[in-house]
Structure 1
Amino acid sequence: MHICCWNCQGIRSPLTLPNLRNIIRDSNPGDFNCITSPLEKIGGNNHSQQRIRAFTQFIDSWGLIDIGFSGFPTTWNNRRDGLANIQERFGRFLVSPTWSLKYPSAAVTYLDDQGSDHRSILMSMTPPPMKSRKQFRFDSRWQHNPKVEQIIENTWQRESRGLNLPRVFSKLKNCRYALSH
């Protein structure tokens, strides 16, 4: 598997986002240097709402999914003391729905920031199975089964990350998993 990662500091440039569109493929997660919300920054001046909006629109327009993380909430720290300290979540892995289906167990962990102002980011994943798995099909006999209806309702109501289409995609994937087990 090929993984393309980049450190995107020129997000303000009008050429950056179109060039990124040319790089993205189904199997390429990306590591960006931009936040999607003011909540991803601690300290310092606020980021431009226009810059944040441009980045989130880019993510949404491509139907990308932020696969989330565990560990520290920020990936960059300017290492200054007191009120001069600024921390931000610059690192993130954005993947296509196809990639997400291919690697459902992918997990991102932000590690300790020893020796650098950026935390190391570890992606763990299980390779796709060699055999093709049985295709999921909805069984029409389930239509009048109250247990199945309850499974679907409970699964659909769970909180899901992502914007618009990726969120629906995630909910359908969770329903399929719940009905299969």
Structure 2
Amino acid sequence: MHKTKGYTALINFFSQIGSLRIGVESQISPFLEFFNEAALVELPFTGPVYTWDNRQIGYHQIEERLDRFSSSPDWLATNPNAIVQHQQVTSSDHKALILSTELQQPSLPEPFRFEAFWVQEPSFHDLVAQAWTVQASDESTSFLVNSEV
């Protein structure tokens, strides 16, 4: 068994469900040697683990992680936010792998915007008065917030 930096068991490079590969080690030996010599590391990912399937169902289904992004430690040090997204593609038996090096900011909800025409709605004042009358309580006290509209 080959020992690798970053992949302690890269013999399981073809991580799979549903079948047994024979002779995988000899098939990927040159790749493992290159991987070790270059000291490559695998980039983190989000999404499904397996990146390929044979589009079969049941006993005949095989899913494998064939597709990966790897980099040198130097590149990863200069791109610390690098992450790979595995996304489903309907036209292929492989997932799409999308590399992002930007810090992913969570999307913010759209800010509330008051529309001036709302005040013309007949039930507007009653609705606002009801919304601003809040019953709140904690362990020690209860209070009522009430505001004139």
Would you call these one fold, judging by a TM-score over 0.5? yes
1:88 equivalent among 48, 64, 67: 64
Match of 2:81 in 1: 105
1:119 equivalent among 89, 95, 109: 95
CA spacing shift, 1:122–1:102, aligned 2, 3 Å: same
1:67 equivalent among 40, 43, 66: 43
Match of 1:40 in 2: 15
Alignment check: 8 A CA contact 2:13 2:65 kept: no
Whose relative contact order is higher, 1 or 2, with alpha carbons under 8 Å and at least 6 apart? 1
Return the structure number with greater helix share.
1
Deviations 1:98-144 (Å, cap 9, x if unpaired)? Answer: 211111100011112322100011111129xxxxxxxxxxxxxxxxx
Shift of 1:56: 2.5
Match of 1:29 in 2: none
Partner AA of 1:42 in structure 2: I
Question: How far apart, CA to CA, are the structure 1 residues paired with 2:86 and 2:92?
Answer: 13
TM-score, structure 2 length as denominator?
0.55
Match of 1:16 in 2: none
Q: Tell me the C-alpha RMSD between the 2 structures.
A: 2.2
Alignment check: 8 A CA contact 1:103 1:125 kept: yes
Unaligned runs of 5+ in 2: 1-8, 104-149
Partner AA of 2:69 in structure 1: F
- Percent of residue pairs bearing the same amino acid type: 30
Unaligned runs of 5+ in 1: 1-34, 128-181
Return the structure number with greater strand share.
2
Shift of 1:53: 3.7
| Larger Rg, first or second structure (1 or 2) | 2
Question: How far apart, CA to CA, are the structure 2 residues paired with 1:99 and 1:38?
Answer: 22
Q: Which runs of 4+ in 1 moved over 6 A?
A: none
Aligned partner of residue 39 in structure 2, secondary structure: coil
Aligned partner of residue 118 in structure 1, secondary structure: coil
TM-score, structure 1 length as denominator?
0.46
Alignment check: 8 A CA contact 2:51 2:65 kept: yes
| Equivalenced residues, count | 93
